[in-house]
Structure 1
Amino acid sequence: MTHMYANELDAPAPLAQHPLVWRETNTPQPGSGQLLIEVAACGVCRSNLHLIEGDWVDGGVPAISPIVPGHEVTGRVVSLGPGVDGFAVGDPVGVQPLWWTCEECEFCTSGREQLCHERLITGEHVNGGFGEFMLATAAHTYRVPDNLDLVEAAPLFCPGITGYGAVKKLDVGPGQRVGIFGLGGVGHLALQFAVLTGAEVVAVARGADHLTVARELGAHETVDASAVDAGTVLEDSLDAAVTFAPSDEVTAQALRALKWGGTLVTGVPISIESLPFNKEQVIKASLLGSRRDMREVLRLASEGEVRTVVERFDMSRAGEALDLLANGRLRSRAVVETRRPS
């Protein structure tokens, strides 16, 4: 177990140049407070594209070279570093983008550790889950309920926590209408969390596959944004909206669809030209969620309240999965998995 295979990135480059290389590398060993995980699966996120193609180089990401991307990971514990309690070899576990936080700042001590200024992100600052093994910080590792499939559970650790964190910022319930704009990997889970509030959920997307998935997952109404202007069709009809599409046009449509006094939560960067103060609309940003939120997501999934919709790829085919994501050809969330001989 001294060597493993992983998808490594030496230097960011356009995806067409195939910068991600599947090759043999050293298997890491856990230090104090760490676990070594044998990776079962890792979800494929649009953030991976930004990292691989160099969109975040000015911000210091990737922080190391070579780096193994991937930040929504499931697997089983292989070995424990010194000082680790609460885990045993063989435990099914998962890791989300928050790989490490300082545990001392005002955010870490108030249950908002996702805002820690010193945080390290899985697959961006440290090696992630696009390989056969990965190191994890025990304080940010979660036991996966035994009744969950580890491959299908992987997206719970980014789309799941992101969607939950966004919907949690809404104050909605029965008799109200919530719009979910953007129904990819994150949106399809946020939709389910919104349905659980009892509100009427309207799903807005451009792809027929995404709209079909939305109806399967309980959307009360769908809007094909490739055929109509969602802002016009839904104008002044939503009590709340959540956006996961990094598009100024989508943001404008969501705000137009909001009632006066409505709330927009965004899980992506947005730009706004103007916000009429007389409408008293509220805009909130949402980044992941806390450790407590992550455990709640796992509980809901274990009880069958939410589920992921995944397309499976062999771990060595991460580049192919990323290409499909970049070209909008995925039904929902791609997951790369380590397929070992039985």
Structure 2
Amino acid sequence: MPSGTDDGPTTTAWVVDHTAPAAEHPLRRVERSLDPLGPTGLLVEVRACGVCRTDLHLAEGDLAPRTPRCTPGHEVVGRVLSTGPEAEGFSEGDRVGAAWLAGTCGTCRYCRAGRENLCPNSRYTGWDIHGGYAQHAVIDARYAYHLPEGPPDEELAPLLCAGIIGYRALGRAALPPGGRLGIYGFGASAHLTAQLAIGRGATVHVMTRSEEARRLALDLGAASATGAYDAPPEPLDAAILFAPVGDLVPTALAALDRGGTLSVAGIHLSDIPVLNYQRHLFQERTLRSVTANTRADGRAYLAEAAHRPPVVHVQRYPMSRADDALADLAADRVTGAAVLLPG
């Protein structure tokens, strides 16, 4: 159980002490108070937490901090230690997952229309509330996921953001059955999404700058894997941009066949160069963004992943080296997904 003081229970956690390049280690390990449990809260012992590029954007200042000295991490796998009086569906000892979406108003026109990812009052794990770079976390049972008992903690953690966001990005890309999908960038989310698309019968072409990532893509079943700015070997019906590099938008649009769609999956993107209408958008090519996810996305993806389990390529780090994991992610020293583990 968490340790305590006169001011209440505490936990050992990493916080964004100040924003700076990850190589300068902007995270600090501290003892901090736990958030109040609340009526629908779950107190969770963290067993694994994925390291997401969004955590990097927060630490480096690409995303403006919403909570001072916030604990990052929104791919949280843990065990329920205790529950609030109105936390329905969970009991002590349950294996539970927390993802990026941590709360919505439930009453706005977006929430009522099943588009809660666009709720103006949405809240996010590791941005608005403390996340999983910690021994313990408090999450809302209404936004938590039941997790199966079989797979290792470190293989489940990346599914909770990298997998879910990739699932939504693939849907936004409007890939036709048996279509040709281009993937730009090949990190945690891309390597899961490629397997999802291949499992559905798509032909996948990967464009990424990392030679090691290209080898992984081919090992996972991609039809080709080339440099980030290279043209794929055939026109694409759809593409997903995972790399946060705006310069790749015109490259990916130019690779689309007539009527193709480019889905941009990141929460942050560098500036997009000027587009040429005839070359990049004419012939009904479409450019779409992806904003967070709905709980329905999460449930649907986790069900599909349980039916067809992906190969999750994991680089493991002890929780005590969270700052090193983030620095490695920034320096492209992570292939697949980085995951923090206790100990």
The answer, yes or no, to whether TM exceeds 0.5 is: yes
Instruction: Report deviation, 1:312.
Output: 0.7
Per-residue deviation, 1:173: 4.2
**1:153-302 map, 5 Å:** 153-225=156-228, 229-231=229-231, 233-234=232-233, 237-268=235-266, 269=269, 271-274=272-275, 275-276=277-278, 277-302=281-306
Map 1:49-128; keep pairs closer than 5 Å.
49-57=56-64, 61=65, 63-128=66-131
State which of 24, 35, 58 in structure 2 corresponds to 1:17. 24
Q: Secondary structure at the match of 2:109?
A: coil
The letter of the residue matching 1:167 is L
1:276-319, Cα deviation, whole Å (9 max, x unpaired): 35321011111232212211221222223423211110111000
Secondary structure at 2:96 match in 1: strand
The answer for unaligned runs of 5 or more in structure 2 is 5-9
Distance in structure 2 (CA, Å) of the matches to 1:172 and 1:100: 30
Would the aligned equivalents of 1:9 and 1:21 in 2 still touch at CA under 8 Å? yes
**Matched residue SS, 1:134:** strand
Kept in 2: contact 1:4–1:24 (CA 8 A): yes
- Aligned partners of 2:176 and 2:237 also within 8 Å: no
Query: What are the Cα deviations for residues 116-158 of structure 1, in whole angstroms up to 9, with x where unaligned?
Result: 1101111111111100000101110000112222221111111
Kept after mapping to 2: 8 A contact 1:36/1:135: yes
Residue 328 of structure 1: aligned partner: 332
Assess if the C-alpha contact under 8 Å between 1:163 and 1:190 holds in 2: yes
- The aligned residue for residue 134 of structure 2 is 131
CA distance in 2, matches of 1:224, 1:17: 29
Deviates more, 1:8-17 or 1:314-323: 8-17
SS of the counterpart of 2:293?
A: coil
Deviation larger for 36-45 or 17-26: 17-26
Do the aligned partners of 1:300 and 1:306 also contact (CA within 8 Å) in 2?
A: no
Tell me the number of residue pairs that the alignment of Structure 1 and Structure 2 aligns.
330
Q: Distance in 2 between matches of 1:280 and 1:272?
A: 20
| Aligned CA distance change for structure 1 residues 193 and 175 (closer, same or farther; 3 Å) | closer
8 A contact 2:178–2:200 mirrored in 1: no
What CA distance in whole angstroms lies between the structure 2 residues aligned with 1:247 and 1:309? 23
CA distance 1:101–1:241, change in 2 (3 Å): same
- Normalising to structure 2: TM-score of the pair? 0.91
Deviation at residue 176 of structure 1 after TM alignment: 2.5
TM-score of the superposed pair, with normalisation by structure 1 = 0.91
**Correspondence 1:311 to 2:312:** no
Query: What is the SS of the residue equivalent to 1:319?
Result: helix
Give the residue type in structure 2 aligned to 1:203: V
Contact preservation (8 Å) 2:185, 2:241: yes
What is the distance in 2 between the residues matched to 1:307 and 1:299?
15
Aligned mates of 2:23, 2:215 — CA distance in 1 = 30
Aligned-partner Cα distance in 2 for 1:56–1:175: 37
Structure 1 residue 163, shift from structure 2 partner:
0.4
Q: SS of the residue aligned with 2:173?
A: coil
Q: Letter of the 2:291 partner, please give it.
A: L
| Corresponding residue SS for 2:131 | coil
Unaligned runs of 5+ in 1: none
TM-fit CA distance, 1:203? 1.2
1:260 offset after TM fit, Å? 1.7
Quote the Cα distance in structure 1 between the aligned partners of 2:282 and 2:165. 30
Secondary structure, aligned partner of 2:247: helix
For the structure 1 residues 174 and 105, does the alpha-carbon distance in structure 2 shift closer, same or farther, using more than 3 Å as the test?
A: closer
Shift of 1:24: 2.2
The residue type paired with residue 265 of structure 1 is S
Report the CA distance between 1:174 and its aligned residue.
4.8
Equivalent of 1:337 in 335, 338, 341: 341
The 1-side partners of 2:329 and 2:303 are apart by: 28
Amino acid at match of 1:271: I
The letter for the 1-side match of 2:138 is L
CA–CA separation in structure 2 for the residues paired with 1:170 and 1:46: 21
2:206/2:214 contact within 8 Å kept: yes
**CA distance change for structure 1 residues 221 and 83 in 2, over 3 Å: closer, same or farther?**
same
Higher alpha-carbon deviation: 165-174 or 132-141: 165-174
SS at match of 2:258: strand
Is the CA contact (8 Å cut-off) linking 2:101 and 2:294 kept in structure 1?
A: no
Q: Secondary structure at the match of 1:83?
A: coil
